[in-house]
Amino acid sequence: AQSCRRCQRLRPQLPRRWHSVLIVQPLRRKLRGHRDSVPPERQLAEARALVNSIDGWSVSGCLSVNMKQRTQWVFTSGVYSQLASQVRRSEATAVFVNVAMLSGMQSYNLSAEWRRPVLDRYSVVLQAFNDRATSRESKLQIQLAEIPLRLARTAVVSPESVAAGRAASEATGRQRALDALEAEAERLRAALADIEARKTAKGEARRRQVPTVAVVGYTNAGKTSLVSLLARKSSLLPEDRLFATLHSSHHRCRLPCGLPCLLVDTIGFLSDLPTSLVAPFRCTLRDSLDADQLLHVVDCSDPDWPERCRTVSDTLDKLGLSEKLRNGMLTVYNKCDLLLDSTDSESPAPPEDSLLVSCETGLNLVELQRRLQSRLISGLGYQRVRLRCSPASRLYTWLEQQGVTVESAVPASQGGGDQLAMRLLMSPQQLAKFRARFRPAGQAEASESENSAT
């Protein structure tokens, strides 16, 4: 208990509820841990969108500077002097250095000199997550994701301590705090592992009932809008901001052949996120791991969509998806209406054989459903079965109880009575149950209903 109290005292809290943020954008592309294929001006635009996505935060200004990330001051001496003067004159309450993650010493030095919180991409994304966390699962994930920040800052030995000769005497207390943080991380991992185990069990039960399709993609690519249209859920309202969706949600959809499936709307991905931030959210993305089919939504109106696709691919690799699931992923290019309406678009054209869709105009949504239907039927081994039976028969009742998909049912042309000629879609499990129940029993039900299965 004493270690936990010490750990809480040393915990650097996430930034406060409101901030006026000055963004510092690197001009050099080949920075350690930084993107090298997206122009700095578009990196800056995404940084602005990230800050504005947090309630109560606003951008007070932007500065583009050369950076030297491997030094303890991040910048060269000349750039640092110029930047320090601009920061002190600004009205910003925090500075966002748009790199993946600053070291503990870098963050300490800059914060101490500028007397303002200095944030990196890791801490700003964590704040965006924290701003929307409502479930116990997401709150535990954020606490675990914050551990690396707390470890880095706890391990810093301040120059004041060295000058005063207190570095050695403070080492014992610092080590105790680090041990307490490690113990807390283990507790959080255990709690999340328990939640993940329960979600896995639920996912298996759900998958036995209906196929699942995980909708993945870069943040703000239009995943929620697409799920809303496919599931015909007007109550599912998308938001035009980063990380509008933080929790996975399930929505029932019926494909053209009548086959039901579950669409899983997942959290959006973002570039420049260290593994230590992706790993805690594995539990939230568990639905992607357990899905029968992946649907990758790409915003083709974004000039940097090829880089966004690489980010999604890298993140899926970190999650450890099966090769079969990765290779069978269906990719659609959303917001094509913006691309087609613009004559001077900077966005590269999607591949020739790609599927272009628009949630705004509804273009190719039916074709998307057909392709999803084809992938699920072939990938999960569904079989088409033709038979005749009466609505009053035991077979018909059994089909309803098992939730067998009925593609068509018309009055039988021969045989008379109230028999129906039915075309069914059965999963391998349903087909095995059907054969075990009705075929061995002397064809009793089959002869009664003139059942002919193919």
Q: What percentage of residues in the chain have a pLDDT greater than 70?
A: 76
Strands 19-26 and 94-97: parallel
Does 257 count as an annotated binding residue?
no
Within the chain, all domains assigned CATH 3.30.70 are found at: 383-449
Q: What per-residue confidence (pLDDT) applies to 416?
A: 61
What 8-state DSSP symbol labels residue 282? G
The Cα–Cα gap between 276 and 38 comes to 23
CATH number of 2-178: 3.40.50.11060
Residues 97-109 have a mean pLDDT of: 87
- Considering the chain, what is the average pLDDT of its residues? 81
pLDDT at 11 over 70: no
Q: Please state whether the predicted TM-score (pTM) of the whole model is above 0.75.
A: yes
Residues 108-124 have a mean pLDDT of: 90
Strands 212-217 and 293-299: parallel
At residue 415 the predicted structure's pLDDT band, cuts being 50, 70 and 90, is low
Does 224 count as an annotated binding residue?
yes
Does 30 count as an annotated binding residue?
no
Residues 107-119 have a mean pLDDT of: 90
Q: Which residues pair with 417 in a beta bridge?
A: none
The Cα–Cα gap between 126 and 135 comes to 15
Q: What per-residue confidence (pLDDT) applies to 3?
A: 42
The Cα–Cα gap between 217 and 269 comes to 6
pLDDT tens, residue by residue, 146-190: 888 888 877 765 655 544 556 556 677 778 888 889 999 999 989
Within the chain, all domains assigned CATH 3.40.50.300 are found at: 210-378
Letter string b/e over residues 184-203, b meaning 16 or more CB atoms within 10 A of that residue's CB: bbeebeebbeebbeebeeeb
What 8-state DSSP symbol labels residue 363? T
Does 328 count as an annotated binding residue?
no
3-state secondary structure 193-241: HHHHHHHHHHHHHHHHHCCEEEEEEECCCCHHHHHHHHHCCCCCCCCCC
Amino acid at 443: Q
Whether residue 288 contacts residue 296, with contact meaning beta carbons closer than 8 Å, is answered with no
The Cα–Cα gap between 50 and 84 comes to 24
Strand order in the sheet with 94-97: 57-65, 19-26, 94-97, 118-119
Q: What per-residue confidence (pLDDT) applies to 1?
A: 44
The Cα–Cα gap between 36 and 72 comes to 22
At residue 441 the predicted structure's pLDDT band, cuts being 50, 70 and 90, is very low
Residues 121-144 have a mean pLDDT of: 84
Does 220 count as an annotated binding residue?
yes
- Closest among 271, 264, 234 to 248, alpha carbons compared: 264
Does 218 count as an annotated binding residue?
yes
What is the architecture, at CATH level 2, of domain 383-449?
Answer: 2-Layer Sandwich (3.30)
pLDDT at 444 over 50: no
Does 212 count as an annotated binding residue?
no
Does 315 count as an annotated binding residue?
no
Structure tokens at 354: 């790609």
At residue 70 the predicted structure's pLDDT band, cuts being 50, 70 and 90, is low
Least confident of 38-47, 55-64, 96-105, 435-444: 435-444
Specify the CATH number for 210-378; select among 3.20.20.70, 3.40.50.300, 3.30.9.10, 3.40.50.2000: 3.40.50.300
At residue 275 the predicted structure's pLDDT band, cuts being 50, 70 and 90, is low
Within the chain, all domains assigned CATH 3.40.50.11060 are found at: 2-178
Sequence-distant (≥ 6) Cβ neighbours of residue 175 within 8 angstroms: none
Does 405 count as an annotated binding residue?
no
Does 268 count as an annotated binding residue?
yes
Does 122 count as an annotated binding residue?
no
pLDDT tens, residue by residue, 26-62: 886 454 444 456 788 888 998 998 899 888 899 999 9
pLDDT at 440 over 60: no
Does 223 count as an annotated binding residue?
yes
Strands 383-389 and 405-411: unpaired
Q: What percentage of residues in the chain have a pLDDT greater than 90?
A: 40
More confident residue, 285 or 326: 326
Q: What per-residue confidence (pLDDT) applies to 443?
A: 41
The Cα–Cα gap between 114 and 237 comes to 41
Q: What per-residue confidence (pLDDT) applies to 374?
A: 96
Does 335 count as an annotated binding residue?
yes
For the packed helices 223-231 and 365-379, what is the interaxial angle rounded to 10 degrees?
A: 80
CB atoms near residue 235 (< 10 Å)? 5
